[in-house]
A = this chain, B = another copy of it.
Amino acid sequence: MAHKIAILGASGYTGAELIRLIATHPNMEIVALGANSKAGQSMASVFPHLRHLALPDLVTIEEIDFAGVDLCFCALPHATSQEVIRDLPKHLKVVDLSADFRLRDPAEYKKWYGNDHAALDCQKEAVYGLTEFYRDEIASARLVAGTGCNAATGQYILRPLISAGVIDLDDIILDLKCAVSGAGRSLKENLLHAELSEGYNAYAVGGTHRHLGEFDQEFSALAGRPVRVQFTPHLIPANRGILATSYVKGAAQAVHETLQKTYAGEPFIQVLPFGETPSTHHVRGSNFCHIGVTGDRIEGRAIVVAALDNLTKGSSGQALQNANLMLGEAETEGLMSVPVFP
């Protein structure tokens, strides 16, 4: 029998991406779609690409009867998410796509997000949703916190290298290029086609991007001591895709072998042959992440590049992968569609 699924925040891109993926899942049924600002509308009017699907109309979150729901995806803005999830019935499994439960330390949360956390109990309970590294905890979790899309990409590169001790922990640079859908469906001048097409720029330069909170937490835990990476995101004139270029100090071959060994059995993480580099085009619309390693001409330095689709592997695909684990489904169910190229 199909699991009953609710999606809160269904009028945003990650909500729509969840629906796109779940539509091909044999054992999930979407029973409720919440979107307060567009309640009353049909999904066909909000997202015409979903018009062929039989979907419930959008409703307010208050209108949803969660009694018959097995799992709820929460794709709401941060700060809102924590208040909503706090008040959900406790029988519900929850996969949160916001930033609200990614940081375990309330002080760190406040430092990066500004507000006091409104759901400290949930925060304590939440499991960090980077599937490949928290698989067992996720399988038995009630509440899983989806990672930041940039944070996921950087961790796919760096976690194995930090764990294996093959790189210098004090000199890690992550230069990241992100497509615009990572900013969501919000009406901001710099997200207009006329402002972005043909233009690209760095933003949140100097270590101010919030996903650094996740890097700090995770990398320091792995290393057993504080690790601070340098991280500069760039906005690229494209709709989907993250390309992360990491500059590390360590033996390039050891870096490559470490990544290959770590991801050997993983269905979605593909480590390319040594010296090859990935492109966002080749993971577009899919749950795959491609990683390439090259040695620099300067001895003892390596460049590691990773590509994934921010809306899929970076967000909604990850969320479904985690939901599969939580519901006892095959982890890859609904997620094996092939990248769309060109």
- Which residues of A are at the interface with B, using a C-beta cutoff of 8 A? 13, 16, 19-20, 23-24, 47-53, 171, 173, 175, 177, 179-181, 185, 187-189, 191-203, 205-208, 212, 228, 230, 232, 234, 236-241, 243, 245, 247, 270, 272, 275, 277-286, 288, 290, 292, 294-298, 301, 303, 305, 307, 336-342
CA distance A206 to B285 in the complex (A): 29
CA distance A341 to B284 in the complex (A): 11
CA distance A24 to B340 in the complex (A): 13
Nearest B-chain residue to A182, judged by Cβ: B194
A175 → chain B, closest Cβ, in Å? 4
A205–B303 CB distance below 8 A? yes
CA distance A329 to B188 in the complex (A): 40
B237–A202 CB distance below 8 A? no
Interface centre among A237, A290, A339, A342 (most CB of B within 10 A): A342
Other A-B pairs, 8, CB within 8 Å; known A23-B336, A47-B341, A175-B247: A16-B341, A48-B278, A49-B340, A197-B239, A205-B277, A206-B296, A230-B303, A239-B342
A316 → chain B, closest Cβ, in Å? 12
A280–B20 CB distance below 8 A? no
B203–A277 CB distance below 8 A? yes
A187–B180 CB distance below 8 A? no
CA distance A250 to B240 in the complex (A): 35
A283–B24 CB distance below 8 A? no
With known contacts A23-B338, A228-B298, A234-B243, A199–B303 Cβ distance under 8 A? no
A238–B188 CB distance below 8 A? no
With known contacts A189-B185, A236-B237, A206–B342 Cβ distance under 8 A? no
A177–B197 CB distance below 8 A? no
- CB contacts (< 8 Å) of A337 on chain B: these are 24, 337
CA distance A292 to B205 in the complex (A): 10
- A298 partner, pick from B230, B272, B342, beta carbons under 8 A: B230
A236 → chain B, closest Cβ, in Å? 6
CA distance A49 to B272 in the complex (A): 12
- CB contacts (< 8 Å) of A285 on chain B: these are 285, 340
- A290 partner, pick from B48, B171, B207, B243, beta carbons under 8 A: B48
- CB contacts (< 8 Å) of A281 on chain B: these are 49, 195-196, 198-201
With known contacts A13-B342, A49-B284, A342-B13, A278–B245 Cβ distance under 8 A? no
A238–B277 CB distance below 8 A? no
CA distance A278 to B16 in the complex (A): 18
With known contacts A49-B338, A199-B238, A247-B247, A192–B194 Cβ distance under 8 A? no
- A175 partner, pick from B52, B175, B294, B298, beta carbons under 8 A: B175
CA distance A207 to B297 in the complex (A): 5
Nearest B-chain residue to A19, judged by Cβ: B338
B279–A230 CB distance below 8 A? no
Q: What are 19 sample pairs from A and B whose C-beta atoms fall under 8 A apart? A: A19-B338, A24-B336, A47-B341, A49-B340, A177-B177, A185-B192, A185-B194, A187-B189, A187-B192, A198-B342, A199-B281, A200-B243, A200-B281, A201-B280, A202-B243, A230-B296, A230-B298, A232-B303, A285-B285
